[in-house]
Amino acid sequence: MRSQGKLCRAGLSKPKPVVLIASVNGDIDIDASVKAVRELSNADDDVYSDDFLNFIVIQTPSQIQPRLDELDLTIRTAQGCRSVLGIFSRATNDQDLVPPGPYYVYESDIHQVSLLRYDYLDAFMFTVVQSESDPQKSVPRILRS
Amino acid sequence: LKCSRDTGCIRFSVLDGVAGDGMSKKVAVPSRRYAQPPNDSQPLAGMRISIKDNFQLAGVKTTNLSRSFSELYPPDGESADYVKELLKLGAIVLGKTKMSAFASSDEPTDQWIDYHCPFNPRGDGYQSPSGSSAGAAVSVAGYDWLDISIGTDSKFA
């Protein structure tokens, strides 16, 4: 299943780790975006790592085209990341935005990341993944070792 | 009708594959960032949980740790009401844990006939994990990436 949103830049043949951050109220606020990245870096999340911070993807609630060059330079200077990879336009209102966090970009689409752990204590009968309940809103998943 | 946590129609698929040791199952642990912070309507938002294999989980078999029972019944069509409520509250189900057959008082390890019991994370791993919710106890005690494990106390087992 594919999500509705697409990156505005060309597709990638290999999954690339990115941090997805959301625009504020449909507009791009550079200060808020940088702050969002910093908060993500400090969050208690064992799936997130600094590898994701190399590239930023800005999510917009509509087909807004911000000034990518300025945004790119500001975030790169503030965070030491390499660049803004692109703009991810998906939904028409703030409620349908994909949650900010670590993702993979693959073939112009955003994919959730699940870290693979191992049941070395043999505690589980089955391990499961949640199926995509709503293809219109769901985000595909990539498993990461 | 759109499927959402509120409608209770979330389905699951079994994650295939084992680790390089050929034995340990893979567990897919999602980022905590995909859930909103816990709130009044979803106090379990983003919490990673395991459930005992006597709860129905839509799309997955319930074995009760009995090979005969597992062969007899197909994957469950819907989740148990209790599981639906957990999902509605925001919990993320990572898997179903082992138990003594039919939640009986079978004592590990020699009385677990159809499946081997979990390893106790305490000590050398060979102390009894007890039961019946052995997998629930072992998973939440042994894995720091798991927040909550649901077991049962079957009074008349």
Q: What is the pLDDT of residues B77-88, one digit of tens each?
A: 999 999 999 999
The ipTM value here is 0.95
Gap between the Cα atoms of A85 and A8, Å rounded: 9
Which residues of chain B does A125 touch, with a Cβ-Cβ cutoff of 8 Å? 53, 63, 65, 95-98, 115, 135
- What pLDDT does A111 receive? 86
pTM: 0.85
- What pLDDT does A53 receive? 79
- What pLDDT does A20 receive? 85
Q: Cβ(B77)–Cβ(B69) under 8 Å?
A: no
DSSP string, chain A: ---S-EESSPP-SS-EEEEEEEPBTTB--HHHHHHHHHHHHHS--SS--GGGGGEEEEEESSS----HHHHHHHHHHHH---EEEEEEE--SSGGGPPPSEEEEEETTEEEEEEEEEEETT--EEEEEEE--S-TTT---EEEE-
Which residues of chain A does B11 touch, with a Cβ-Cβ cutoff of 8 Å? 130-131, 133
Exposure on the CB side of residue A67, measured as CA atoms within 13 A: 7
Question: Residue B157 above 60 pLDDT?
Answer: no
Written as one letter, the residue type at A128 is: V
Question: Residue A141 above 80 pLDDT?
Answer: no
Residue in chain A nearest B119 by alpha carbon: A121
Minimum distance, in Å, between the CA of residue B155 and any CA atom of chain A: 23
